[in-house]
Amino acid sequence: MPMISQEGWAMDITSGGTSGPRLVDQLAALDNNVYGSLYDCPPARQLAESFVAAGWRARASSWTDYEVECEWACIELQQLPGEVIFNGVVDPSRLDELAVVFAGLDVRYSIELWNAEGTDLIRELKPQS
């Protein structure tokens, strides 16, 4: 049953996770390759709820942090004062699609895609304000 918050209805995202798609095995075997920041955005919990509403799976990974995933990406949303940072795995061919997801949530973002070894920055996306 959903929990009620001061803002209205809130989704109950537990450590067991919501229903939804899981990251494909070939990507799950990779180390983190995507990192970034989300600015001027709601708290990580509300972001996770927005991902679930968009068809993603989410789970609470701590009291303040959430993991969201679909078949082609799995990212950890970490709450900091004034911003949310993230890290995880994304199919490199779908990096632009991750940017579209963030834009659809109406948040400013910066995204870095690194090589499999984590030694070289491949792409950086920082949309113009």
Give the pLDDT confidence of 55-107 residue by residue, as tens digits.
Answer: 999 999 999 999 999 999 999 999 998 899 999 999 999 999 999 999 998 88
Confidence (pTM): 0.86
Hey, what are 39's tokens? 């600015």
What local confidence, expressed as pLDDT, does residue 127 receive? 78
Please give the DSSP secondary-structure letter assigned to residue 20. Answer: S
What local confidence, expressed as pLDDT, does residue 5 receive? 36
Structural contact between residues 84 and 43, judged by C-beta atoms closer than 8 angstroms: yes
3-state secondary structure of 122: strand
Confidence check: pLDDT of 112 > 60:
yes
What local confidence, expressed as pLDDT, does residue 75 receive? 98
What local confidence, expressed as pLDDT, does residue 15 receive? 83
Residue 4 dihedral angles phi and psi, to the nearest 5°? -100, 130
